[in-house]
Structure 1
Amino acid sequence: MSRRLAVAAILALSLSLALGLGLGGCDGGSRPAPAPATPGKAVTGIEAHLKATPSRVLAAVRKRGVLVCGVNPGLPGFAYPDLRGVWRGFDIDICRAVAAAVLGDATKVRFVPIGGQDRFGALRRGEIDILSRNTSWSFSRDVGLGLDFAATTYFDGQGFLAPKALGLASAEELSGARICVQAGASSQGNLADFFRARGLAYKPVVVATEAEARRLYENDGCDVFTADISALAGSRSVLNNPGAHVILPEVISKEPLGPVVRQNDGAWADIVRWTVYATILGEELGLTSKTVTRARETATDPQTRRLLGVDGDYGAMLGLSRDWAFQVIRQVGAYDEVFRRDVGADSPLKLDRGLNALWNAPKPGLLYAPPLR
């Protein structure tokens, strides 16, 4: 190598070292080196950089020490006080799951019975933290009311309950019928659409509550009762002779039901959404309230370990404890447990999973949760 080339190489090396030292000192040396991942705690790129967005509702719930949940005053299978005054049902368990996630205790819920026509007003006024009241997700409600539907917990559709003695095979035989329907519910508009599209006449018997519609129907105040099929199954289960009534085969609408929150607190919507997803993921991973404690100690599957807080601290991104999802499943159950207990095989309603089966079930449904990663 010539002397000129040797000098050039030395100068280039010096310049490179100087630039490296200068860039390294731009932040005054305050940036710490990334901490190595410790065994049992998988740190992902996202987890390493994202922090929880503060939630006003979460802060209020924790300060109060109880979750305030708006529910149906009485719908068998979904929300009803038992003979001892204890609230039970599918929508009740969604509230309990959120309480388990945010407070660590599924019993710390105050249930507020709310009529159908005032449910959104009560939520907007801040009288409740969450509305879990067999409420359908629709465009006008989502966009026009300043509210957010956190997730779909039950895929439903509107149908018709009729006396078996009428011998009806189809809702299209209902021309001229008196039909009980609840005021202010999406069922009222769906009913009008169904008959208008077919050029059929009918007489709406509009009542304030589902309970009133049920009483009128049973006492011949109307010929047929229309509502979501899950609500009709619940109503039928408490009639004097449930076997004397049938749900007609037509499903005349899409009714995705789920919890509702105010639109001005996205972090709270995330908490409610991922609480629902935790129950679904729990079922996907084969977890139950009885097995989840053991699974947290023995699981080797990365998805299970993340969900239960063994690997990573995903709860921190929601402002929750590391074991938030573990508490949901341990205290309330995975989705299949909740469904079976409240509206499925172990309940008076005996509803099939149908659309509410997992996406990868032998008979696939629509139930699907995004991955926790």
Structure 2
Amino acid sequence: MISRLAATVLLLAALGACSGPQPAKKAPEVKTQPRATSANPGYKPAKSPTLEAVRTRGYVACGVHAGLPGFALKDARGAWRGFDVDICRAVAAATLGDANKVRFTVIGAQDRFGALQKGELDVLSRNTSQTFARETGLGLVFPIITYFDGQGFLVRRELGLNSAQELNGARVCVQEGTASAGNVDDWFRVRGIRYRAVMAASEQQARQLYEAENCDVFTADVSALAASRSVLSNPGGHVILPEVISKEPLGPVVRQDDPVWADIVRWTVYATLLAEELGLTSRTVEQARETATDPETRRLLGVEGDLGSLLGLETDWAFQVIRQVGAYHEIFRRDLGADSALRLDRGLNALWNAPKPGLMYAPPMR
């Protein structure tokens, strides 16, 4: 009986082998709703609860730094200025048609993510680095990188230091509860260099401790160091050492549960980058809207097609961003570059096709 059964199994296996491979079963077809085109005007995009809330209350709630020159700082008249501030103003222009419809809330480093999670903010724009744990463990998302940065060291020029490798035994001021504290510890430990961390509750306190010579070195993102140096009593008496010890991709943060809002923030920044690439500025964009023949420029400015409706925005959303806030190079220049106290080079933040190429790259507007 057993031998007869075995023979039957062998025969069936042989027949199966002779018949060759069997075609795979066709997967059931999944029907997806096509994206909006002129041929499909009835398409309705997913709604954004955040956008609806913004329109109901009439302003964008934006969390910013208490006072970081170049990024977020009140001017003599009490108006907020800076790179992170302009990102929120651009979002207001895109969603409400008015860059001034923003309410800024000062948020400390320890509280910034909690305020966003609780719904107290629509967007956090506070020189915040994208990291794995922040994006996967907090229910938040970084829609786009607006500034590629890295952590460095600020020292007094009179010390005559040329490299961070010479910092053995140094007292290092660093803000507690930030990625900078972990980065600097990793960097010194891996190289076997002794140092003593002088912890500060805020960036401002770290700067004050450094200026009072309670530490030898101040470490933070290079852009933050340049900002701090600009307000020291003698900016020229301090240098940023050449080592950059980390990658710090900075950008706005939103909640993960509203992907349409994340798209709005992302494409608002892309619009400023595309404007620079296409040669548009806040001063020329109105004329360009009347005279442009290039299809991508016309789509960006809402002259051709209706791409804004895919995000629940008006046709001229990108035009308003560029007209009221500017192209990326205008924003960078006035807040961080040649027209600012920081005078930072574009570096990695140059366009991908610039004479000295950077990392800034926007997908096509189509």
Provide the TM-score with structure 2 as the length reference: 0.89
Q: 1:231-258 deviations in whole A, cap 9, x for unaligned? A: 0000000000000000000000000000
> Is 1:157 equivalent to 2:114 in the alignment?
no
Secondary structure of residue in 1 paired with 2:87 = helix
How many angstroms does 1:55 deviate by?
A: 0.4
Q: 1:250-269 deviations in whole A, cap 9, x for unaligned? A: 00000000000000000100
In 2: Cα distance, 1:112 partner to 1:272 partner? 18
Residue number in structure 2 paired with 1:365: 358
| Alignment match of 1:335 (pick from 328, 347, 354) | 328
Q: 1:24-81 deviations in whole A, cap 9, x for unaligned? A: xxxxxxxxxxxxxxxxxx9566x75743210000000000001100000000000001
Matches of residues 48-127 of structure 1 in structure 2 within 5 Å? 48=41, 50-127=43-120
> Is 1:272 equivalent to 2:265 in the alignment?
yes
How many angstroms does 1:221 deviate by?
A: 1.1
> Aligned letter for 1:202?
Y
Residues 309 and 220 of structure 1, relative CA distance in 2, 3 Å threshold: same
Q: 1:165-198 deviations in whole A, cap 9, x for unaligned? A: 0111101111111000011111011001101110
Query: Percent of aligned positions with the same letter in both sequences?
Result: 71
> Is 1:293 equivalent to 2:257 in the alignment?
no
| Alignment match of 2:159 (pick from 148, 161, 166) | 166
How many angstroms does 1:372 deviate by?
A: 1.1
Residue number in structure 2 paired with 1:20: none
In 2: Cα distance, 1:61 partner to 1:48 partner? 26
Residue number in structure 1 paired with 2:310: 317
How many angstroms does 1:201 deviate by?
A: 1.2
Matches of residues 135-146 of structure 1 in structure 2 within 5 Å? 135-146=128-139
Matches of residues 6-17 of structure 1 in structure 2 within 5 Å? none
> Aligned letter for 1:365?
G
Secondary structure of residue in 1 paired with 2:315 = coil
> Is 1:211 equivalent to 2:204 in the alignment?
yes
> Aligned letter for 1:301?
D
Residue number in structure 1 paired with 2:245: 252
> Aligned letter for 1:69?
C
> Is 1:263 equivalent to 2:256 in the alignment?
yes
Residue number in structure 1 paired with 2:31: none
Provide the TM-score with structure 1 as the length reference: 0.87
Q: 1:136-162 deviations in whole A, cap 9, x for unaligned? A: 001010111110001000000000000
Q: 1:251-296 deviations in whole A, cap 9, x for unaligned? A: 0000000000000000100000000100000100000000000000
> Aligned letter for 1:252?
I
Secondary structure of residue in 1 paired with 2:227 = helix
Q: 1:179-223 deviations in whole A, cap 9, x for unaligned? A: 000111110110011011101111001111111001110001110
> Aligned letter for 1:121?
G
How many angstroms does 1:86 deviate by?
A: 0.5
> Aligned letter for 1:306?
R
Residues 311 and 43 of structure 1, relative CA distance in 2, 3 Å threshold: farther
Task: Count how many residue pairs are aligned between Structure 1 and Structure 2.
Answer: 331
In 1: Cα distance, 2:308 partner to 2:167 partner? 52
> Aligned letter for 2:298?
R
> Aligned letter for 2:217?
V
> Aligned letter for 2:95?
V
Residue number in structure 1 paired with 2:340: 347
In 2: Cα distance, 1:84 partner to 1:187 partner? 32
> Aligned letter for 1:277?
Y
In 1: Cα distance, 2:37 partner to 2:74 partner? 44
> Is 1:281 equivalent to 2:274 in the alignment?
yes
> Aligned letter for 2:296?
Q
Secondary structure of residue in 1 paired with 2:148 = strand
In 2: Cα distance, 1:44 partner to 1:174 partner? 63
How many angstroms does 1:370 deviate by?
A: 1.0
> Aligned letter for 2:125?
S
How many angstroms does 1:135 deviate by?
A: 0.2
